[in-house]
Amino acid sequence: MNLKVVATNGTFEARCLPIDFIDFEEHFDKPVTALEQGRITHLYFLAFTALRRANKIDDVDFKVWAATVVSVEQADDDADAIPPLESNQPTG
């Protein structure tokens, strides 16, 4: 899962890895499927753990970091995908 984070100091991509989901589950004592409930805290925390792990943000408290965030949304995971070849290839 990729998240786009817009903060007061720039825009960041948070690429979530399994360890980020584990951190989420340990922190909230809920399965990662709780993200489907749409709680903003859950989404922001997942972005926070991914950015912190990737050293894209300073090691600060979650609420201190969240106070600088304008928005977090799911990024287009297909943006890096290689487009398929055309389906109708010319024949000899």
pLDDT of 30 over the 90 cut:
yes
Cβ–Cβ < 8 Å for 24, 37:
no
Q: Model-level pTM?
A: 0.78
Q: Report which residue type is found at 83.
A: P
Q: Report which residue type is found at 8.
A: T
Domain positions in the chain: 2-76
The pLDDT tens digits of the residues spanning 37-74 come to: 889 999 999 999 999 999 999 889 999 999 999 999 99
- Distance, CA of 33 to chain centre: 14
Strand locations in the chain (E): 2-7, 10-15, 69-74
Residue written as token pair 């010319």: 90
The encoded tokens of residue 6 equal: 């817009």
